[in-house]
Amino acid sequence: MSGTLSDTRPRIAILISGSGTNLQAFIDRAGSGELAADIGIVFSNRPDAYGLKRATRAGIPVSCLEHGHYADREHFDRAVAERLDAGRPDLIVLAGFMRILSPWFVHRYEGRILNIHPALLPLYPGLDTHQRVLDAGDSRHGSTVHFVTEELDGGPRVLAGRIRVMPHETAAELMQRVQAVEHRIYPEAARWFVEGRLQFRDGSAWLDGEKLDEPIVRDFD
């Protein structure tokens, strides 16, 4: 999976800012052959992101640029793209990348960027989703893989993983269970993409030639 990149296997670039448990799920699936793709580069906007260690341990090239050193969002994004393009990525996977992307970046890779958001979109875009779910007294929660467009957490949804909220559960406990779901659904959606089954066309997500008006939903309880 790492070290020497194949000329034929699809290439994934993964962008992180933190712990990288989702990145780890990709590393594991690519390592086991379940995800037939090479992770060509892991990029972080934070030098202390633990995910960089995970990538290095797996022999994946890493790159880091700090956004604070750039005049504005687009200048930063252009520098990031330069790093990513060196590895000719087919797919960009945002895995806890805590930066809003500029329209320039989104258009540069239109239809080739996936994100995972820890909520059942369109519910709860933005931050603190677990606490907001608890505050609202919702009985279901989960996470959603979607294509990235200019609208924050608003691009076409692909795959959602759903769990039941337990009585007296804390936001931290909920987060842990949601993340376990993410580690299942995110590599799966990426696999669909690299296998050519999942596409972004006319502003919508398409799976196996069918337009997804709603995401595929998997229940994990």
- At closest approach, how far in Å is the CB of 1 from ligand GRF? 18
Of the residues 60, 62, 95, 133, which one makes contact with ligand GRF according to CB under 6 A = 95
Q: Is 118 in the site for ligand GRF (CB under 6 A)?
A: yes
Q: Is 21 in the site for ligand GRF (CB under 6 A)?
A: yes
Q: Is 20 in the site for ligand GRF (CB under 6 A)?
A: yes
Residue pair 54/19 in contact by the 8 Å Cβ criterion: no
Enter the tokens of residue 146: 């979607």
Per the residue annotation, which of 107, 117, 130, 168 is the catalytic one? 117
**Residues facing 162 on adjacent strands:** 142, 219
* Pick from 167, 192, 162: nearest CA to 178: 162
Of the residues 2, 5, 9, 18, which one makes contact with ligand GRF according to CB under 6 A = 18
Query: How many chain residues bind ligand GRF (CB under 6 A)?
Result: 15
- At closest approach, how far in Å is the CB of 208 from ligand GRF? 25
The interface mask with ligand GRF, positions 47-66, x = CB under 6 A, is: --------------------
Catalytic residue at 117?
A: yes
Find the angle CA(11)-CA(12)-CA(14) to the nearest 5 degrees. Answer: 155
Q: Is 44 in the site for ligand GRF (CB under 6 A)?
A: no
Q: Give the residue at shortest CB distance from ligand GRF.
A: 96
Q: Is 40 in the site for ligand GRF (CB under 6 A)?
A: no
Residue pair 78/104 in contact by the 8 Å Cβ criterion: yes
> Which residues does 2 contact at the CB level (< 8 Å), separation at least 6?
38, 39, 58, 59, 60
Instruction: Report the distance separating Cα 47 and Cα 26, nearest Å.
Output: 20
Residue pair 174/133 in contact by the 8 Å Cβ criterion: yes
Of the residues 10, 89, 96, 187, which one makes contact with ligand GRF according to CB under 6 A = 96
